[in-house]
Amino acid sequence: MCPTAVPGMAVIMTETSPAGPATARRPARQLLAASIGNAVEWYDWYAYTFLATYIAGQVFPAESGNSLVPLLSTFAVFAVGFFMRPVGGLLMGAVADRHGRRAALTVTILLMGGSSLLVGLTPTYATAGVLAPVVLVVARLLQGLSVGGEFAASTTFLVESAGPGRRGLFSSFQYVSTTLGQLAASGIAAALVGGLGEDRMQGWGWRVPFLAGAAFSLVGFWIRRGAEETLRLPSEGAGRARPGLFDALRHHPRASLLICGITAGGTLAYYTWTSYLPTYAELNAGIDKADALLAGTLSLGFFALLQPVGGLLSDRYGRKPPLLFFGAGFALLAVPLLRSVGDSFGSLLLVQCAGMVLLTGFTSVSAAVNAEVFPARVRAAGIGFPYSLTVALFGGTAPYVGTLLKEVDHPGLFPWYVSALCLVSAAVYLRLPETAHRELER
């Protein structure tokens, strides 16, 4: 089969897929390669979040006599990971556009495996002094770089691997695998805390999930090595050079701004409902911590099941209907939903599941929409940088904005903040062209 050339650029199939695009041969293997690797990436990312208190006790002592330690502690826990995500999106996106999606996917999972191993082997402050927090900061830098690059590479890989009329379905597995990674991290952390007890967790137990994560990364790496390349790279003698680091921003500024507008409301709602809501319920409704965590876990399982449904519906009816369902739904209902959070398990679970239904309108199709905005030549970097930057600005800060508003005695403003940003994204969705039934440039 001869590949179809992109106008103005000589193209050939990569060595890994000489007979045709990956979508024609092994879509299930492609889906598994992206999903398993993505789940491992997010398992490692969330394991750090769930075990941060144990890490802090060993690596960042409260009274160290060294002014660098609390500074490094704050920087590591709250800033480093999200700061590096846009950098990872740009750098790993460029790798995916210049050398292929599979190359970037193998790099990101090895980065995450190495950083997870580094966290697991981080010395305590008692044994290594200030070197301990420095090692942890480096590990967190690598984690942020990996996660930012993972979204750029896996989004393009998933959508380009999909068969005709299946891009929405394939893209929905981005959040299926992300959620499964989060559930695995919380489940393993909870099992260790319950089985080992506080003393052993403080001593060595907190290291186990990270060492396991490094091993999981090797499994993901092995699976990804067998995947087929989805990008048609220029031949060695082609007249057109491979894309530069900032080509997507320079040549497609409107598309880059579109990614920001598409993502802003969605990432704020996502982090509010999947990460911050249990804490919000504790702070503002006085719900028991155990009940809040259980409701959060159950709603995440429900959320994962919804994603393929949303993806399939978008393949049939288009991307704009689910996006508008999400944007308008949250703009109208974020305030009443968050205000209805009570001190009972049932009310919190109901609010979380209702939000998850609305949120699926964004999460199940966002990867497909993002990929359909950019041409293949700069698709990964074009998605990676503006998406990760928007996540860092709005998604990563959601818990801190909510907590800050509570501390200054204005907790009621947070639901309005969520509503307003989702309204902005809904306005962007109204202006989007429908891309579901267009042929994807390869």
Q: Are 44 and 108 in contact (CB under 8 A)?
A: no
Q: Is the pLDDT of residue 111 over 50?
A: yes
Helix (H) or strand (E) holding 54: helix 52-59
> For 328-380, what is each residue's pLDDT tens digit?
999 999 999 999 888 888 889 999 999 999 999 999 999 999 988 888 888 88
> For 54-78, what is each residue's pLDDT tens digit?
887 788 776 655 555 554 564 555 5
Q: Are 300 and 274 in contact (CB under 8 A)?
A: yes
Q: What is the mean pLDDT of residues 272-294?
A: 83
> For 381-433, what is each residue's pLDDT tens digit?
889 899 989 988 898 788 778 878 887 888 889 999 999 999 999 999 999 98
Alpha helices in 272-288 (DSSP H): 277-285
| Per-residue model confidence (pLDDT) at position 25 | 57
Out of 13-17, 125-129, 200-204, which region has the weakest mean confidence (pLDDT)? Answer: 13-17
Q: What is the DSSP string of 369-434?
A: HHHHHS-GGGHHHHHHHHHHHHIIIIITTHHHHHHHHHHTT-TTHHHHHHHHHHHHHHHHHHHPPP
| Per-residue model confidence (pLDDT) at position 78 | 57
In this prediction the pTM is 0.83
CATH number assigned to the domain covering 25-226: 1.20.1250.20
Q: Are 36 and 177 in contact (CB under 8 A)?
A: yes
370-394: b or e for each residue (b if 16 or more CB lie within 10 Å)?
bbbbbbbbbbbbbbbbbbbbbbbbb
Q: What is the mean pLDDT of residues 104-114?
A: 92
Question: Residue 69 and residue 337: Cα distance in Å, rounded?
Answer: 40
| Per-residue model confidence (pLDDT) at position 374 | 86
Q: Note every long-range contact of 225-228, with CB atoms under 8 Å and residues 24 or more positions apart, other chains counting.
A: 225/102, 225/106, 226/29, 226/33, 227/22, 227/29, 227/30, 227/33, 227/34, 227/102, 227/105, 227/157, 228/16, 228/17, 228/22, 228/25, 228/26, 228/29, 228/30, 228/102, 228/161
Q: Is the pLDDT of residue 49 over 70?
A: yes
| Per-residue model confidence (pLDDT) at position 418 | 93
In the chain, CATH 1.20.1250.20 sits at 25-226, 244-442
Percent of the chain at pLDDT exceeding 70: 87
Class of domain 244-442 (CATH, top level): mainly alpha
> For 242-254, what is each residue's pLDDT tens digit?
777 777 888 888 9
